[in-house]
Amino acid sequence: MSDLRLMKGNEALAEAAIRAGCQGYFGYPITPQSEILEYLAAEGRARGMIVLQAESEVASINMVYGGAGAGARVMTSSSSPGISLMQEGLSYIACAELPCLVVNVSRGGPGLGTIQPSQGDYFQAVKGGGHGDYRLLVLAPSSVQEMADFVFDAFDLADKYRTPVMILADGALGQMMEKVTFREYNPAEHIVAKPWATTGKPKTRERNIITSLHIEPEMMEQINLRLQEKYRLIAENETRCEHFHTEDAEYLIVAYGLAARIAKGAVETARAQGIKAGLLRPVTLFPYPTAAIRRLAETVRGVLVLEMNAGQMIEDVRLAVEGRVQVRFYGRMGGIIPAPDEVLVALEGMVKEDAAQHEEVY
C-alpha cells in the first residue's frame, strides 16, 4: 500500500521500519529521536513487532547483535551520545557480519552537547567509530521522504551484504514534518534466507556460531580480507549521489543531508545572480562518491564544502579532488543550522577570490 501522509521524520522512519518487515526494535530514549521508540511502542507492537526499551544503548546494540544473529530483521536508533555508547557493539556486529539497521538522528556535540541538529558524527559514522578495520554502509537522508525511503534500502542492503547499515540523519530531519509517500514494499519478497543464523541446530547441519573472535592471527587476517573485499564490492555497487545543476557548474558545493538542502537554496539564488553554481550531494557517505567529485573537479573553478560541523567530510572531498582545484569550507557547529544567505556569502567569496587570482595570473 502506498499513501501520502504528513509526518515527522522520526515517525516516517518508524512507520517505514514496520512496513519494511522489521521484526525487532531495541532502543533507549534520547532526544531528538525518542519518537521512533514511542511510535514503535504503539504502532509497531500493535502490528506484531517486538519492541523492547532497553536499559541502555549498550544493551540495545547487543540486543541487535542477538536478534540479528537469530536471523531476524532488527534495528535500533539513537542520537549522538547514545551512538557513541554503541561503538563497541557495532564493531562486533561488523565482524560477525550481522545485517541490521542503526539510525543516528544526530545532535550537536562533543559531550552532552545540545539537542539541536548537527553533522558532527560524520567521522564516527564513516571512518569506523569502533575498534578495528570495519565500515558501516552509511545512508544520509535530506528529507522526511528519504527518512522513510532509506529504511527499506537499508534493510535490503544489510541483508545483501550481511553488514550493519547506518542511516545518518540529524535532529532537524527527525523533528520536521513533511509530506511522505510510502513505497509499495512486500517484506516477504525481500526477506532473504539466513542459513548462518542461530535458530537451533537441526540434525541436518553443523552448528551455527555467531562470533567475532578468531584468536589465530592467520584466521583473523582472512576475516579482515573478506570484510575488505565486501567493502570494495559495496563501493563498486552501492555508491549513490545526487547532482543538482552540476552539468555546467563553475563552482561546486558538496554537502550532504540537511546541509545539502540549504545548499540547494544557495545554488538557486546564486544562479539567479549569474553565478554558475552546482551541488553534489553524497547520498551514501560510505561508500563515498569519490569518482563523481573527481570528475567534477576537472571542470569546476572551485569547490565549497558545506557541513554542520568543523569540517569533517571535507577530508574526503580533498581526497577526491587531489589538488585539482581549491577546496574551501563553510560550516557551523554546536547545533546551529547555516542559513542559505551565509552559504551564498561563502560562495560569492569563493567566486571573488577566484576572480582576483585570475587577475594576478594575467
Tell the smallest beta-carbon distance from residue 210 to other proteins (Å): 4
Looking only at residues 159 through 198 of this chain, which bind other proteins when binding is defined by CB under 8 A? Answer: 198
Q: If binding is defined by CB under 8 A, does position 213 make contact with other proteins?
A: yes
Phi/psi of residue 67, nearest 5 degrees: -65, -40
Asked if residue 50 binds other proteins (CB under 8 A), the reply is: yes
Whole-Å CA distances, 343 to 47, 126, 211, 277 = 44, 24, 47, 12
**199 makes contact with other proteins (CB under 8 A):** yes
| Residues of span 326-355 touching other proteins by CB under 8 A | none
Rounded-to-integer distance, Cα 63 and Cα 76, Å: 9
Q: Tell whether residue 54 is a contact of other proteins (CB under 8 A).
A: yes
Give the three-state DSSP class for 8.
Answer: strand
89 touches other proteins by CB under 8 A: yes
Q: State the sign of the Cα–Cα–Cα–Cα dihedral 220, 77, 144, 340.
A: negative
Site for other proteins in 231-290 (CB under 8 A): none
The verdict on 70 binding other proteins (CB under 8 A) reads yes
Cis peptide before 110 (omega within 30 of 0): yes
Exactly one of 33, 34, 62, 79 binds other proteins (CB under 8 A); that residue is 62
* CB of 98 or CB of 279, closer to other proteins: 98
Is residue 201 involved in binding other proteins (CB under 8 A)?
yes
Residues 285-314 that bind other proteins (CB under 8 A): none
Min dist. Cβ of residue 45 to other proteins (A): 12
Q: Select 2 or 211, whichever has its Cβ closest to other proteins.
A: 211
Rounded Cα distance, 18 and 33, in Å: 16
Q: How many CB atoms lie within 10 A of CB 118?
A: 28
211 forms part of the interface with other proteins (CB under 8 A)? yes
- φ, ψ for residue 254, nearest 5 deg: -115, 120
Residue placing its CB nearer to other proteins in the complex, 107 or 194: 194
Find the binding residues for other proteins in span 90-129 (CB under 8 A). Answer: 92, 96
Binding of other proteins by 210 (CB under 8 A): yes
Asked whether position 64 contacts other proteins by CB under 8 A, the answer is yes
Output DSSP code: residue 104.
E
Distance in angstroms (rounded) separating the CA atoms of residues 131 and 91: 6
**For residue 122, which phi and psi values (nearest 5 degrees)?**
-60, -50
Minimum CB separation of residue 108 from other proteins in Å reads 27
- Is the Cβ–Cβ distance between 261 and 143 less than 8 Å? yes
Contact pick of 52, 172, 241, 260 for other proteins (by CB under 8 A): 52
37 binds other proteins (CB under 8 A): no
The yes or no reply on residue 66 touching other proteins (CB under 8 A) is yes
Q: Does residue 69 belong to the site contacting other proteins (CB under 8 A)?
A: yes
CB of 133 to other proteins, least distance (A): 18
Instruction: Please state, as a whole number, how many other Cβ atoms lie within 10 Å of the Cβ of residue 203.
Output: 4
Exposed, middle or buried by CB within 10 Å (0-12, 13-18, 19+), for 2? exposed
DSSP state of 41: I
| Alpha-carbon distances, residue 155 vs 46, 174, 282 (angstroms) | 21, 19, 19
Cell numbers linked to 360: 594576478
Among 40-48, 68-76, 217-225, 266-274, which window interacts with other proteins (CB under 8 A)? 68-76
The least distance separating other proteins from the CB of residue 70, rounded to whole angstroms, comes to: 4
List interacting residues with other proteins (CB under 8 A).
23-24, 26, 50, 52, 54-56, 58-59, 62-67, 69-72, 74, 88-89, 92, 96, 198-203, 207-213
